Chains A and B, each alone.
Chain A
Amino acid sequence: MAKVLMKGNEAMALAAIKAGCEAFYGYPITPQNELPEYMSKHMHKHGRVFVQSESEVAAINMVYGAAGAGARVMTSSSSPGIALKQEGISYMAGAELPAVIINVMRGGPGLGGIQPSQADYKQITRGGGNGDYYLYSLAPESLQEAVDLIKESFDIADYFRNPVMIAVDGLIGQMMEPVDFENEVPKWDLEPKTWAADGNRKNREKNIINSLFLDPQVLEDHNLKLKKKYDEMKQNHQRYEMINMENADIAIVAFGSTSRIARTSIELLKEQGVNCGIIRPITIYPFPRKAFEELPKTVKELLVVEMSLGQMVDDVRIVNEGKLPIHFYGRCGGIVPEAEEIANKVLEIVGGK
């Protein structure tokens, strides 16, 4: 099918509808408002549910309810709103409920700003809410990738019975790009939701959706059961892209809009005779350790570039295991780094040898 020119937030909404999202519950917050607005216009036409909730807290609890009843369900928000949703996200992970959560990140802390940011990296990858849990977290760098990943993410959430976070920044939410909505995406092998408390008890035992386990041994067993899922994500479902890595002297580590900008930086660097690659994490949880194991021997330095003060650096340190020097360049507060700035930082490092 031909490509359609669409705004990011609207394209992500349409992708969810195409993925069979049955219900959307959300609360307004900039810079993601076009997403619930699009849903309010289109979900009813498809016989599906849209509710504007009274708060982010209520929205995520509506998602928790609908997911418990077996529906494919989604919410979206932006950084301070995601912070409010963390309670419900923790409950969903604890009760093993699937859902897709889109975070169109803006600057923080507190009310912060409304311009693009990646400063939710820790909020997204460290569990965010209380308890031992993680979200499978995808960080697309283009609208096409966002659309493809959202279409697949409902399957991923159902497969793991765990929420999936789509981590984009305000730039992806607000920009327009041509998108093909008919791209084939992987289909996951899914089992029927026989666990759902959907009020259909006639031919089965009652179902209970719950994250309360008062017996410490039962809770520990439950924690270990959840850990198996996170281990499987880490073992088999890391995603990343290696860009221009052959014979690279230095590798940039960047995700989302930042990696997109770094693609231009490496072209500028080629003109200067510097061969620079990019490790682009597509999953930020699980962090793509395998990409670092694949690095060619020519790479002598790592440069982490983020729209934050370096929230991903810790993860790079962990997987680097002390092998290569790690540098950092970041802009924050809603400022998007320019390709030249990143290239200059690379030159500073390479030239400094």
Chain B
Amino acid sequence: MHAVIPYVIAALLFALGGYGVLRRRNAILVLMAVELMLNAVNLILVAADSTIKSALTGVQPEAWAYPVPEPRAGAIFALFVIVLAAAEVGVGLAIVLQYYRLRRDVVLDEVMLDEHDQENARVTE
């Protein structure tokens, strides 16, 4: 198996995700692009697990770097990243829905980040 193929696929997916995050205005589409980036990282982890670590047979294992001698740690990290992504999308969608409930819109360009401070300033004046 040529190791370049999954790595290049992951690089392209990450680039597409970054492009989507910068290009899209709709918050849900931005979340989709973030999912693509997270999946690219997962693919890198799994591919490195299958290629590099399986080739490291002659290297003296160091205890801090290889807590487990078997080449499956990348897959476990990928599982952890999947769980993190699930938590992220849950909280992110809760924020998006709450914002939609307040403003009837999910366009990220028009989010007023300093609006609350202005309201507070007007109240205190």
Q: Do A and B associate with each other?
A: no
